[in-house]
Amino acid sequence: MSAPAPSPLAIVDVDPAKAPARQDEVLTEAALAFVAELHRRFTPRRDELLKRRDERRAEIARTSTLDFLPETAHIRADDSWKVAEAPAALNDRRVEITGPTDRKMTINALNSGAKVWLADFEDASAPTWENVVSGQLNLTDAYERRIDFTDERSGKSYALKPAEELATVVMRPRGWHLDERHLQLDGKPVPGALVDFGLYFFHNAKRLLDLGKGPYFYLPKTESHLEARLWNEIFVFAQDYVGVPQGTIRATVLIETITAAYEMEEILYELRDHASGLNAGRWDYLFSIVKNFRDGGAKFVLPDRNAVTMTAPFMRAYTELLVRTCHKRGAHAIGGMAAFIPSRRDAEVNKVAFEKVRADKDREAGDGFDGSWVAHPDLVPIAMESFDKVLGEKPNQKDRLREDVDVKAADLIAIDSLDAKPTYDGLVNAVQVGIRYIEAWLRGLGAVAIFNLMEDAATAEISRSQIWQWINAGVEFENGKKATAELAREVAAEELAAIRKEIGEEAFAAGKWQQAHDLLLQVSLDTDYAAFLTLPAYDQLV
């Protein structure tokens, strides 16, 4: 690879006196030149695909339905193609832990005993410039084994276990919709996805190969096989640019949008030389249903988010189709999140929650999933036990083809098949969680423990979406109150007052509580539904 010319990328809106430590190690001329080339080649197509999302949403608003694509029926009918064989480091994925790439989490996740760590630059990370840069450094430092951490409050020190005991890293960049305002070319910001992917791949692809692993990715918020095709084109270019063999990259796609659920096989097909599997994520999936069918009438109104479990008929159709699709094509099927955060004070709460986690992971293993997600190290052995019982010594169960599964297009959007209704308590919870999460996000925290659950941006998205949907559908709750903007404002004001009383005036003033309250109401009540709350929120992120 020849020496690059000086990068044309400009670093903007970054105070040199407050720049992240060791920033120059990440933003080298060579790395920035690579990101600039990604931007030139692929951002125009990214922009076209974002416009296509809007067009498809308009079509859904007109028809109130979705179907499998007739123009790609030949791909689904062709039984001959499979995705590339999994590399050894990704063949056994029975438990995956998720979390942001701060220094403490990097060490704890790698040491957790999970097979995989989803190192998250997306929903579990607020994209402050500090988080973007330091997250890259933490991963490289971990690969170089020059990472440690001492907790200032407890004095406890953290260091990596031996290499053979560490989880394999699968990195998740930001979704296509988010830009990185601090890196610009000719005044235009670079997509956050290309910044996150580009810096990580450039610095670590060869390093990871030397460690016997590789540059592995989770691809979020994908809405169509055309978006998967764009990623594949990026992978092909990137591998040639850096000088690693084609097929070195492996990608797992999160099927967390309702439109992607109708294109699972096509997504795997587009990425087949680089595909590793598909994942089923609940909160973003429900958020996508509300977003796309928000004007579809009463039959698309979701009940309280906690009432929509993976056993709901339309969710069961989605997960079973995912397992069948993956195994038909030789890919891993990865299940959903166990988000419980163990209590330090209440053993009974932990006991009940652990049993729910065990039942959920037993179900996923029994359904044919090859692995599943947890948010806390204490949940790793519970999930591991569930999959060990089914897998034994096998690394996965891709040989279970689930040919008994027969999902029709209508099954995936049969929201009214769920016998549950929105409740007033559900509205209160949505407001509570929304305010508390957004406040933390505005302070730079993307993974937040709220009411003993580890929440990320997907939680806030489904919370504000349900408030919006219930108001616009004129839902009447069991207590006789009707979902209105006035009621949402009343509940939000009560929650803000309760938080002030709970944490005290000094902590309240030091936080971003009023800002979070206002932003939640903005994205919940505006007639013009914001595609992602993180778009207006990013404008307020320091």
Alpha-carbon distances of 181 from 11, 13, 255, 447, rounded to whole Å: 9, 8, 27, 22
| Category of 212 on φ-ψ map: left (φ > 0), alpha (ψ -120 to 50) or beta | left
Q: How far apart are the first and last CA of the chain?
A: 37
Cα dihedral: 319, 250, 272, 267 (round 10)? 40
CA–CA distance, 127 with 257 (Å, rounded to integer): 22
Nearby residues of 53 by Cβ (< 8 Å), 6 or more positions away:
223, 224, 531
Q: Exactly one of 141, 284, 456, 464 is catalytic; which is it?
A: 456
CA–CA distance, 69 with 222 (Å, rounded to integer): 16
CA–CA distance, 102 with 182 (Å, rounded to integer): 20
Are residues 197 and 203 in contact, defined by beta-carbon separation less than 8 angstroms? no
Q: Are strands 10-11 and 179-185 parallel, antiparallel or unpaired?
A: antiparallel
Sequence letter at residue 314: F
Q: Exactly one of 103, 172, 250, 436 is catalytic; which is it?
A: 172
Of 64, 93, 490, residue with least CA distance to 294: 64
If 0-12 CB within 10 Å is exposed, 13-18 middle and 19+ buried, where does residue 186 land?
exposed
Q: Does 148 qualify as catalytic in the annotation?
A: no
Angle at 225 between CA 222 and CA 229, to 5 degrees: 95
Are residues 215 and 136 in contact, defined by beta-carbon separation less than 8 angstroms? no
Query: What does DSSP assign to residue 196?
Result: H
Sequence letter at residue 487: L
Q: Does 76 qualify as catalytic in the annotation?
A: no
Residues acting as catalytic residues: 172, 456
